């Protein structure tokens, strides 16, 4: 009885943690949608090709249209997925077992975090300098020998490109996500096989019992 109560308490705490995380992510996704990277045009402008840039519209949508579409798609998926978690937790879903509901919530949370990471990547790529394709020399702050003003002097060592850092970070995240997903899949398969074995044993015992009665 005590083990069952501890498991129920652990499940409730985990559900509450998912609820808090989903609420925060939904708020972040909403803010990212209404305040996209690079901001919005403060006043109406006309580009060289005659295209109008209306006040309040996204700068990223004009300068980086393909990236903006990907950004908004990933952000929308993350927003809807996080709202789905909040809805499932609030509604309770009485016709679904507690264990199955927790599995469902975790899967949706994986989807939410993955698309939030992709949203972050497209945001960084949108606001990164256009000349970021070449590695930059890292500046070191030093005192100027001619005056007392502080000026940046390059010592010649290179720093990683922003795009490379973002790409590597995302790859590490995807590897971590795949590892955790694999662990949970293995656990699910072990649980499923054990359940099937128990069912087969019960059916076997029932058949043997029927033959004995005859």
State how far the Cα of 122 lies from the Cα of 110, in Å rounded to an integer: 19
Q: Which domain holds residue 24?
A: 2-128
Contacts (Cβ under 8 Å, ≥6 apart) of 29 = 75, 76, 78, 79, 82, 116, 119
177 vs 153, higher pLDDT: 177
Residue 193, domain member (yes or no): no
Residue 115 pLDDT > 80: yes
Q: pLDDT digit string (tens) for 16-73?
A: 888 899 999 999 999 988 888 887 777 777 766 666 767 777 878 777 888 888 989 9
Averaged over 135-149, what is the pLDDT? 42
Residue 104 pLDDT > 80: yes
pTM higher than 0.75: no
Residue 85, domain member (yes or no): yes
Residue 143 pLDDT > 60: no
Residue 147, domain member (yes or no): no
What is the per-residue pLDDT for 171?
Answer: 83
Q: pLDDT digit string (tens) for 193-204?
A: 998 998 888 888
Percent of the chain topping pLDDT 90: 13
Residue 102, domain member (yes or no): yes
Contact (Cβ atoms closer than 8 angstroms) between residue 119 and residue 32: yes
Q: What confidence tier does 150 reach under pLDDT thresholds 50, 70, 90?
A: very low
Which 3 state secondary structure label does DSSP give 194?
helix
What is the per-residue pLDDT for 58?
Answer: 80
Residue 78, domain member (yes or no): yes
Residue 25, domain member (yes or no): yes
Averaged over 144-167, what is the pLDDT? 50
Q: How many structural domains is the chain composed of?
A: 1
Residue 99, domain member (yes or no): yes
Distances in whole angstroms, Cα of residue 187 to Cα of each of 10, 75, 133, 191, 204: 18, 31, 43, 6, 26
Residue 114, domain member (yes or no): yes
pLDDT, averaged across the chain: 75
- Mean pLDDT check: name the lowest of 36-40, 76-80, 174-178: 36-40
């Amino acid at each position: 009885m005590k083990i069952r109560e501890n498991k129920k308490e652990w499940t409730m705490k985990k559900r509450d943690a998912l609820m808090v995380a989903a609420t925060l992510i939904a708020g972040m996704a909403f803010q990212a949608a209404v305040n996209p990277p690079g901001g919005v045009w403060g006043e109406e402008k006309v580009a060289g090709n005659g295209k109008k840039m209306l006040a309040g519209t996204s700068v990223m949508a004009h300068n980086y249209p393909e990236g903006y579409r990907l950004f908004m798609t990933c952000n929308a998926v993350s927003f809807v997925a996080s709202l789905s978690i909040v809805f499932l937790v609030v509604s309770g879903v009485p016709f679904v077992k507690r264990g199955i509901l927790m599995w469902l919530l975790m899967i949706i949370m994986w989807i939410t975090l993955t698309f939030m990471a992709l949203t972050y990547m497209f945001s960084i790529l949108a606001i990164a300098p256009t000349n970021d394709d070449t590695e930059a020399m890292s500046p070191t702050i030093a005192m100027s020998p001619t005056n007392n003003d502080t000026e940046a002097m390059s010592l010649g060592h290179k720093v990683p490109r922003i795009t490379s850092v973002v790409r590597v970070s995302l790859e590490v995240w995807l590897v971590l996500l795949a590892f955790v997903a694999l662990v949970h899949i293995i656990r699910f398969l072990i649980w499923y096989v054990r359940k099937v074995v128990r069912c087969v044993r019960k059916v076997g015992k029932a058949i043997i019992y029927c033959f004995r009665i005859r």
